[in-house]
């Protein structure tokens, strides 16, 4: 058994931001990570972090852009906190050593889709890795912080109406983790419920499933953002698909069909810089119309592509594409969940001492469609806010819970992998970029049939636990999509 003041489930930007607050106040924190501490969506974030730093930019402009992208569903109070507290949180990150790109003495800010100003701070095209490295370094060196890699949480522990810890497989051994003050869910997204996703393998929606089981409200799950441009690999797909950052279109890359025609002006006045949901659907419809892939033409950037976007350049070469002379085949893939665990602006859930922050949480900051590069800022700001709120709690001595009954027959790994693939295909085919009520009803029935193949007991392995999470979160997405019968933002119903 491990006992700590604060327990954080997840090691992305929201969790690490919260942990920084705790160690500064010399309160102990344990950070649980399902894989290694850097294997999460934060480290895959290429584009950057949006913040109003430029002389001609203000938080008000950032606020307005966020609301415009969110299609009328944003919570204005939460957005205001994001854009007003964001600059201070980013300055703290810079003071910790984050090395963002500069032109001379000024930061080299770029522009992305639906932003009215150049406000994206970046570290070439590996911004997430730079932020995670910066936040993680101080924590690794702190005596108040302990990391628990290769640890999969299977159950949150509730004492009456209060969360006091969790049960987890720590290196596949059942282990009890207890918290004197708070538990923070910062597990990121759920992109792995889809057949094609930019998310890493660990993004199986565990935090949402855990909170739902405890009785937290899960909201807005119909709003799944599909990133418009991922490297198109046809049927030969990896576990997660390589994302080609939106910043590359902000710098002048163009979308063309197989005939070389630039097609985005036919779909929206802002062309390649239209909101993500519009660009993703436009690519989807163009591929349907032509029965061919579409392409990203980055040759307008060839003079500085290697230095500004080295990750994209090198990945294209690995796929036998020379981006200086050839176009890159692209297609949309599941990328970000705008919904999640309902929280206050301090990260509080309906369960006492249980918090959530980052992509796993939902404050309606992003509304129906997230503004590009607001995700890293959200994790930074609201992980910080949740931690400060938790500092004010009085410590309590948690009462250990008996270990769950882990008896039963372990499901065969091959069978679980096949079940996961079935879930992903159902969600992709019926709850993807373009949906229909008929397809969603089919998905609901198919997922219910699959649920009957899983035993009604606690998972006996991490893989079983992930499969249960995928199924539950898939059902939540389908049910939410059925309940919202009109198209809005990333939720598009084809009549």
Instruction: Give me the phi and psi of 332, to 5 degrees please.
Output: -70, 155
Say whether 276 is catalytic: yes
Distances 447 to 144, 145, 189, 454, 482 between C-alpha atoms, Å? 43, 40, 20, 11, 14
Sign of CA dihedral 132, 38, 42, 310: positive
Written as one string, the DSSP assignment of 37-96 is TT-SHHHH--S-EE---STT--HHHHHHHHHHHTTT---HHHHHHHHHHHHHHHHHHHHT
Rounded Cα distance between 310 and 322, Å, is 13
Q: Is 1 exposed, middle or buried (0-12, 13-18, 19+ CB in 10 A)?
A: exposed
DSSP letter at 183?
E
> Quick one: which H or E segment has residue 29?
strand 29-32
Rounded Cα distance between 360 and 220, Å, is 12
Note the residue count of the chain: 495
Catalytic option among 89, 180, 276, 435: 276
Strands 106-107 and 102-103: antiparallel
Q: Is 48 left (phi over 0), alpha (psi -120 to 50) or beta?
A: left
**Which residue numbers are catalytic?**
276
């Amino acid at each position: 058994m491990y006992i700590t003041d604060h327990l954080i489930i997840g090691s992305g930007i929201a969790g690490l931001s919260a942990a920084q607050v705790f160690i500064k106040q010399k309160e102990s924190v344990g950070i649980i990570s399902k894989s290694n501490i850097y294997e999460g969506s934060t480290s895959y974030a290429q584009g950057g972090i949006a913040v109003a730093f430029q002389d001609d930019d203000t938080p008000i402009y950032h606020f307005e852009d966020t609301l415009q992208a969110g299609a009328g569903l944003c919570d204005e109070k939460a957005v205001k906190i994001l854009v007003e507290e964001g600059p201070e949180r980013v300055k703290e990150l810079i003071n910790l050593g984050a090395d963002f790109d500069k032109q001379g003495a000024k930061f080299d800010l770029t522009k992305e889709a639906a932003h009215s100003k150049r406000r994206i701070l970046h570290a070439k095209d590996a911004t997430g890795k730079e932020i995670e490295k910066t936040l993680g370094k101080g924590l690794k060196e702190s005596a108040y912080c302990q990391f628990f890699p290769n640890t999969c949480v299977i159950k949150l522990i509730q004492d009456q109406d209060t969360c006091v810890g969790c049960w987890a497989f720590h290196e596949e051994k059942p282990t009890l983790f207890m918290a004197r003050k708070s538990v923070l869910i910062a597990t990121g997204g759920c992109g792995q419920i889809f057949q094609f996703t930019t998310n890493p393998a660990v993004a199986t929606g565990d935090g949402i499933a855990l909170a739902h089981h405890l009785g937290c409200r899960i909201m807005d799950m119909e709003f799944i953002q599909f990133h418009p441009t991922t490297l198109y690999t046809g049927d030969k797909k990896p576990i997660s698909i390589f994302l080609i950052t939106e910043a590359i279109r902000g710098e002048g890359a163009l979308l063309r069909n197989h005939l070389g025609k630039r097609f985005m002006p036919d779909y929206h006045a802002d062309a390649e810089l239209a909101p993500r949901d519009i660009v993703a659907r436009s690519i989807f419809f163009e591929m349907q119309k032509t029965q061919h892939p579409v392409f990203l033409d980055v040759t307008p950037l060839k003079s500085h592509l290697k230095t500004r976007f080295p990750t994209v350049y090198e990945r294209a070469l690995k796929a036998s594409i020379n981006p200086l002379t050839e176009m890159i085949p692209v297609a949309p893939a599941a990328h970000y969940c705008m919904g999640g665990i309902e929280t206050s602006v301090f990260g509080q859930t309906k369960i006492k001492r249980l918090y959530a922050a980052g992509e796993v949480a939902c404050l309606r900051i992003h509304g129906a469609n997230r503004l590009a590069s607001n995700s890293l800022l959200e994790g930074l700001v609201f992980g910080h806010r949740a931690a400060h709120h938790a500092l004010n709690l009085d410590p309590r001595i948690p009462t250990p819970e008996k270990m769950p009954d882990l008896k039963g027959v372990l499901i065969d790994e091959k069978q679980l992998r096949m079940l996961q693939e079935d879930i992903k295909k159902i969600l992709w085919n019926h709850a993807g970029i373009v949906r229909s009520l008929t397809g969603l009803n089919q998905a609901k029935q198919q997922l219910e049939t699959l649920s009957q193949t899983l035993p009604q007991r606690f998972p006996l392995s991490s893989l079983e636990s992930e499969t249960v999470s995928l199924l539950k979160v898939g059902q939540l997405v389908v049910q939410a999509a059925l309940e919202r019968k009109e198209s809005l933002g990333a939720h598009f119903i084809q009549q």
